[in-house]
C-alpha cells in the first residue's frame, strides 16, 4: 500500500503502517481521554486521562498487529508466501499468495478473528482481575475498553461477507463443497455487497438518531461493499480466463529499450518510435533489467535528461511480476496482489518472450466471454460457462 512505512516485523513478516494510522490513533486517544475514561473513572487529573488514552490506543495498535500476524503466520506455516502486513485506518491488510486448498484458506481466514476473540477475552479477564484485587478504576477502564474492542473486532470480522475474514471462511467452505474456487469467491463477494449496503443503512439510521459512531460504520460499510464488488469482478475474470495459458495472452514481438541510455536519448530514439506507454528494459547482455513508464520519463527536468540513465527511473525486474509461457494465466494474475503488478514479463531461459498488459487481459477476457456466452469453447477454456455477470 502506498504511503506506508516499515515499523517492525513479527517472526520475519514485515509490518508496515499507512500514513492514516497516526490520524486514526489520535482520534481514538482523544475519544478515550475525553469521554470514555472520565465516564468510568471520574475525578482524576486531565493528564492521567491523556496518558491512559494514549496507552490504550497503542495497545489497540498492538492488537491489530496480533490479528494480522495470526493470518500471516498461519499462512506461512501452510506454505503460503506472505509479503507483508500493513496497518491502516480501517484495520489491516496481509498481502499473501492465494491458498492452494480450501482447508488452508479456511485456516488462514479464521485465525485472525480467533486471535482477536482470545485476546479480547484475556484482556477482559485481566480487567476483572485488576478490579477485584486492586480496584484501580482507570486501568480497569482501559483494559475493559481494549478487551471489548478486540471482541467486537473478532465478531465483526466473522460476518459472512468478503473481504472480511468471515467472507473468506464462507468462500473456503463453498470452495470445499463445490470444488470451484472462483464461484465460491463470487458468492462470498456478493454477500459482502449485500451486507455492506445493509450496514450503510444501519449506520445512517444510527447517525441521524444522534450516534456519531454511525458515520464511522457507514465509512467501513462503503469500503466493504466497494471491495466486495471488486472481488466479484476479479472472480468473474478468473472464471472467464480459466484454462488459458500465459502464452495465449502475451503480446509479441516485444518493444524494448536499452537500460543504459540517458532519458533524452531514450525518449528520442526509443519512445518516439513506439505506441506503447510501458517498455521493458534490456541490459548489455540482452536480459530484462526492469520496466519503465514513459510518463515518468517526461516528468524529468530537461536539465537532467541528458545525464540521468533511464534504468534509474525503472521498476527493477526483481519487483516485476514474472511468468513462464506455460503457466495458467489465472495463477499469475493471483500473484499480482502479493507484489509486483502489471505488466507481466513472460520469461523463458532468462530471456524475454513476451509481455502482458492490462489491454491484453481485457482483450482476451472479452473474446472468451463472447465465446462462452455462445456456448463455444475458447482455447484451453470450459464449454458452457456464463459470461459477464450483471
Per-residue pLDDT tens for 192-209?
999 999 999 999 999 999
Distances (CA, A) of 36 to 96, 136, 145, 236: 37, 16, 8, 46
- Order of all β-strands in the sheet with 315-316: 257-258, 278-282, 288-293, 315-316
pLDDT in tens, 93-142: 998 888 989 999 999 999 999 999 999 999 999 999 999 998 889 999 99
Q: Name the grid cell of 238.
A: 478468473
Separation between Cα atoms, residue 334 and residue 332, nearest integer Å = 5
**Domain 246-373, CATH homologous superfamily name and number:** CBS-domain (3.10.580.10)
pLDDT band at 339 (very low <50, low <70, confident <90, very high): low
Task: Find residue 85's DSSP bridge partners.
Answer: 15, 94
Beta carbons within 8 Å of 261's beta carbon, 6+ residues apart: 269, 270, 309, 310
Structure confidence at residue 373 (pLDDT) = 67
SS3 365: helix
Residue whose C-alpha cell is 473468506: 168
Pairing of strands 321-323, 344-348: parallel
Q: What element of type H or E holds 292?
A: strand 288-293
Rg over CA atoms, the chain: 25
Residue 345 near residue 317, CB atoms below 8 Å: yes
* Residues with catalytic roles: 68
- CB-based contact 339:83 (threshold 8 Å): yes
**Chain region(s) in the chain for CATH 3.10.580.10:** 246-373
pLDDT tens digit string along 236-246?
888 888 889 99
Cell numbers placing 311: 534504468
Binding-site residue set for Zn(2+):
67, 71, 165
> pLDDT tens across 272-306, in order?
888 888 899 999 988 999 999 999 999 999 889 99
User: Is the distance from CB of 121 to CB of 147 less than 8 angstroms?
Assistant: yes
**Its pTM surpasses 0.95:** no
pLDDT at 4: 87
- CB-CB contact of 390 with 229 (8 Å): no
Residue 313 confidence (pLDDT) above 90? yes
CA triple 19-204-89, angle to 5 deg: 10
Gap between the Cα atoms of 112 and 85, Å rounded: 13
Question: Are the CB atoms for 189 and 231 separated by under 8 Å?
Answer: yes
φ/ψ of residue 172, rounded to 5: -65, -40
> What is the 3-class SS of 165-182, one letter each residue?
HHHHHHHHHHHHHHCCHH
Please state, rounded to an integer, the average pLDDT across all residues of the chain: 88
Mean pLDDT of 245-270: 91
Question: H or E stretch including 353?
Answer: strand 351-356
Total residue count of the chain as it appears in this document: 390
What is the pLDDT, as a whole number, of residue 235?
A: 86
List, as residue ranges, the binding site: 67, 71, 165
Burial 141-151 (b: 16+ CB within 10 A, else e): bbbbbbbebbb
Q: Are 271 and 263 in contact (CB under 8 A)?
A: no
Amino acid at each position: 500500500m502506498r504511503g506506508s512505512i516499515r515499523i517492525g516485523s513479527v517472526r520475519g513478516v514485515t509490518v508496515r503502517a499507512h500514513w492514516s494510522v497516526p490520524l486514526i490513533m489520535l482520534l481514538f486517544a482523544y475519544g478515550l481521554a475525553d469521554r470514555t475514561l472520565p465516564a468510568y473513572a471520574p475525578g482524576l487529573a486531565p493528564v492521567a486521562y491523556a496518558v491512559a488514552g494514549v496507552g490504550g490506543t497503542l495497545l489497540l495498535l498492538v492488537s491489530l498487529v496480533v490479528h494480522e500476524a495470526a493470518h500471516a503466520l498461519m499462512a506461512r506455516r501452510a506454505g503460503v508466501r506472505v509479503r507483508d502486513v500493513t496497518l491502516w485506518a480501517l484495520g489491516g491488510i496481509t498481502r499473501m499468495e492465494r491458498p492452494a486448498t480450501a482447508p488452508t484458506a479456511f485456516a488462514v481466514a479464521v485465525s485472525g478473528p480467533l486471535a482477536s476473540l482470545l485476546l479480547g477475552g484475556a484482556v477482559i479477564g485481566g480487567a476483572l482481575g485488576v478490579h477485584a484485587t486492586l480496584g484501580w478504576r482507570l486501568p480497569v477502564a482501559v483494559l475493559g475498553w481494549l478487551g471489548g474492542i478486540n471482541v467486537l473486532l473478532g465478531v465483526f470480522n466473522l460476518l459472512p461477507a468478503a473481504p472480511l475474514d468471515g467472507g473468506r471462511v464462507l468462500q473456503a467452505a463453498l470452495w470445499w463443497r463445490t470444488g470451484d474456487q472462483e464461484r465460491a469467491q463470487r458468492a462470498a463477494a456478493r454477500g459482502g455487497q449485500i451486507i455492506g449496503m445493509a450496514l450503510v443503512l444501519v449506520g445512517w439510521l444510527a447517525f441521524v438518531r444522534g450516534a456519531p459512531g454511525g458515520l464511522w460504520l457507514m465509512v467501513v460499510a462503503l469500503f466493504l461493499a466497494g471491495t466486495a464488488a471488486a472481488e466479484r469482478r476479479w472472480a468473474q475474470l478468473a472464471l472467464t480466463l480459466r484454462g488459458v495459458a500465459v502464452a495465449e495472452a502475451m503480446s509479441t514481438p516485444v518493444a524494448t529499450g536499452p537500460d543504459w541510455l540517458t532519458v533524452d536519448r531514450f525518449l528520442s530514439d526509443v519512445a518516439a518510435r513506439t505506441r506503447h506507454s510501458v517498455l521493458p528494459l534490456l541490459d548489455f547482455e540482452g536480459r530484462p533489467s526492469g520496466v519503465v513508464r514513459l510518463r515518468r520519463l517526461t516528468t524529468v527536468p530537461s536539465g537532467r535528461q541528458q545525464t540521468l540513465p533511464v534504468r534509474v527511473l525503472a521498476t527493477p525486474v526483481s519487483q516485476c511480476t514474472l511468468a513462464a509461457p506455460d503457466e495458467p494465466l489465472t495463477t499469475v494474475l493471483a500473484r499480482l496482489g502479493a507484489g509486483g503488478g502489471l505488466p507481466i514479463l513472460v520469461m523463458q531461459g532468462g530471456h524475454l518472450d513476451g509481455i502482458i498488459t492490462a489491454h491484453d487481459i481485457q482483450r482476451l477476457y472479452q473474446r472468451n466471454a463472447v465465446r462462452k456466452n455462445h456456448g463455444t469453447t475458447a482455447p484451453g477454456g470450459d464449454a458452457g460457462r456464463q459470461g459477464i455477470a450483471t
